[in-house]
Amino acid sequence: MIVVRLAQFNIKRIVRHRGLRWVLALLPVTVALARSLFAQNKSLLVATELCPLACALLVAAALYAQWTVDCVSGLSTGLRASPISRRGLALSRVLSGVCILAAQMAVFAAILAIRF
């Protein structure tokens, strides 16, 4: 339960981060919109297939960047000083990443499902 709650806080942090928020939202939305508008384009077909992988990599990069910043700022130290294990902390970050990726994929699929 603690892991889930920490993951919630992590999602909040990513969503409120100006840069990360737009980067994470723009990729699936742009690819899905382009694919919907230009359905015959073969390059866009490949891009659509690769988009989930790209989104996963992007989320991983965002989490890594966040972790690096936390290590420098002292937040990681503060969290490690609490009784939650390192594994629990890592799991909460992974869980938040999975949730964000799921949200990205939901938006991606929803846009693709729209017929213009």
Partner 1 sequence: MALLALRNVSVHAGGTWALWDVTLEIGAGEILGVFGRSGSGKSTLARVCAGLQKPTSGTVIVGGEQAEPFKVAAAFSQPAYADELTVYENLDMFACAWGIPRKRRIKEVPAAIERVRLGEYRSSRASMLSSGALSRLEIARGLLADSPVLVIDCLFDTLEPSLAESLWDHMLECKRALGKSFIILTGSGRIAEMCGRIAVISRGKIAFTGRPEDFRRLAGEDIVVLGDVANPLTRTRIAERLSVVITEEDGFLSFRVANGERVVGELLSEFGNEMSCVYLKRPSLEDALDVLSRGASSVAAGTGGKK
Least distance to partner 1 from the beta carbon of 88, Å? 9
| 75 near partner 1, rule: CB under 8 A | yes
Residue whose CB is less far from partner 1, 41 or 78: 78
| 13 near partner 1, rule: CB under 8 A | yes
Give the integer Cα–Cα distance in Å for 71 and 45: 40
**Cβ-Cβ contacts under 8 Å for 74 (sequence gap 6 or more):** none
Which one of 47, 56, 84, 94 is in contact with partner 1 (CB under 8 A)?
84
Least distance to partner 1 from the beta carbon of 47, Å? 31
Number of residues that this document lists for the chain = 116
| 77 near partner 1, rule: CB under 8 A | yes
CA-based nearest residue to 64, from 76, 47, 78: 76
Least distance to partner 1 from the beta carbon of 104, Å? 19
Give the integer Cα–Cα distance in Å for 95 and 101: 10
Which one of 41, 57, 73, 90 is in contact with partner 1 (CB under 8 A)?
73
**Cβ-Cβ contacts under 8 Å for 44 (sequence gap 6 or more):** 31, 34, 35, 38
Residue ranges binding partner 1 (CB under 8 A) = 2, 5-6, 9, 12-13, 16-17, 70, 73-84
